[in-house]
Structure 1
Amino acid sequence: MSCSKEDYFYDTGVHKAKYDGTILQYLKSKPVQFDSLVMAIDAAGMNDVFEKENITFFAPGNSCIYKAVKWLNDDLRLNGKDTVSKFTQIKPEVWKEALSLYIFKGTYLLKDVPQIDTLSLKAFPGQGYASYGGRSMNIGVFYNDAGGIKYVGYRQLVLSFIPDFSNPQVGLINAPIATSDIQPTNGVIHALRFSTHSFDFESRRFIASAISAGIGKADE
């Protein structure tokens, strides 16, 4: 299979790297992948960030958002509490704090990011970047092996959550990217590999934040 330089691979299909619209417009144009994410952005009150600011966004797919809400409901049900039926029952600040982990001011394409080797972080540690909410995250490009030769295979972006800043290379929670360098008019999108990612990087983080902030009533 071949493609021209203008074409862009999107999983098993071909997709244009450039998109004539904002990041939010792009996400809305892909409801199968991102309609729950769009609702989360709206619930966070962050539409303007995705419409007007220049950002790099590591986009978690629908199943990441779905799993987070499902696990929250499982916890609420287990403790005899009313469950969530609408995203707006989860406080905006909870959505905003979680989503901000995936947003970085400015544009960072794959070519702009240093190498990471998750098995050899001392040699190739990636680099720390401040997220939109101010938390330090690690971003790197993983160089896969090919034909038994190290680092000559395809390159894959990895976004990593740092649990312990006193040991920033220990226990990283890695979120590999499925599709990188999608370029709307106000930045770049890197779509996360949804099958292995938990929204907010740890299910308990999101559950604890949502419950601590208080769950609203469905009719509010």
Structure 2
Amino acid sequence: MKNYKRMLFSLICVLSVLTGCKKYYMETGVHEAKYNGNIMQYMEEKKPFFDSTLTVIKLAGLADVISKENITFFAPPSGSIFKSIRRLNIELRVTGKDTVSQLSQIKPEVWKNILSQYIFKGANRLKDYPQRDTLSYLAFPGQGYTSYSGRIMNVGVIFNDAVVLSDKGEVLSRVAYAGYRQLYLAYIPDLSNPQVSLVNIPIATSDIQPTNGVLHVLNKFKHNFGFNTNVFIEQAISAGINPRTP
């Protein structure tokens, strides 16, 4: 009963602030998710965040796909590409080889093969994907989608719990799957076991809607380009590293 009264009192206080004191609350309306331009143009406007990504798109020969076709693009930010290149250079140093200082030193086919895993035909927003629960795959497995590269990736929405905490941080109540929802893209290492050891990448920003599809931006802090960095390194070295151009 004591906890119930505390929750009721807190709710009344919040409502009082929202309705009785305009200084602390202002209705800003619904932010427009649509963008009057294609996906490439949107990314060009956000160039500091997508600078390396744009370079990789062009090196991979996928600029027309990103700018003209109706697609869903889970865009890896420049920071995720930088982390994978850094790992590649560590491997190159260990083996006594020259390091990579220009993205053009990686063969175009390597960029295309890996970047195509982030591209899907058709326009899909968060609401179009099924629920996924990393602790209960059998009940909520998300769904497999075939990427532009032909590789199957798992996409799903995590339904977080709605939790009410006391002023001491204790959980007063929890309602399963009633909290905020977050979109995830997952790499499946072993396609014969599609629910085992998935590399789960959260989406930082979802449902950006340029004129030719939907753009979801991956969390740069929790993603290395290529999902499995060792695979990226292996492909880059096997294809051969181009010499640096002046």
Number of residue pairs aligned between Structure 1 and Structure 2: 211
Partner Cα distance (2:101, 2:160) in 1 = 41
Partner Cα distance (2:207, 2:245) in 1 = 40
Which letter maps to 1:48?
A: D
Structure 2: gaps spanning 5 or more residues: 1-24, 164-173
SS in 1 for 2:193: coil
Instruction: Give 1:3 shift.
Output: 3.4
Q: Is 1:99 the counterpart of 2:99 in the alignment?
A: no
Aligned to 2:184: 158
Partner Cα distance (1:198, 1:184) in 2 = 25
Aligned to 1:25: 41
| 1:50-69 alignment, distance < 5 Å | 50-69=66-85
SS in 1 for 2:244: coil
Partner Cα distance (2:95, 2:45) in 1 = 38
Aligned to 2:199: 173
TM-score normalized by the length of structure 1 = 0.93
Aligned to 2:231: 205
SS in 2 for 1:128: strand
Aligned to 1:190: 216
Deviations 1:130-159 (A, max 9, x none): 000100110001101112211011111100
Kindly report structure 1 stretches of 4+ aligned residues shifted beyond 3 Å: none
Task: Decide which of 29, 41, 58 is 1:4's aligned counterpart.
Answer: 29
Partner Cα distance (1:160, 1:219) in 2 = 35
Which structure has the larger Rg? Answer: 2
Percent identical pairs in the alignment equals 58
Q: RMSD over aligned Cα, in angstroms?
A: 1.1
Aligned to 2:88: 72
Deviations 1:13-45 (A, max 9, x none): xxx411111101111110221111001111111
Give 1 or 2: higher helix fraction.
2
Partner Cα distance (1:37, 1:219) in 2 = 20
Q: Is 1:35 the counterpart of 2:51 in the alignment?
A: yes
Structure 1: gaps spanning 5 or more residues: 8-15
Partner Cα distance (1:125, 1:136) in 2 = 14
Aligned to 1:47: 63
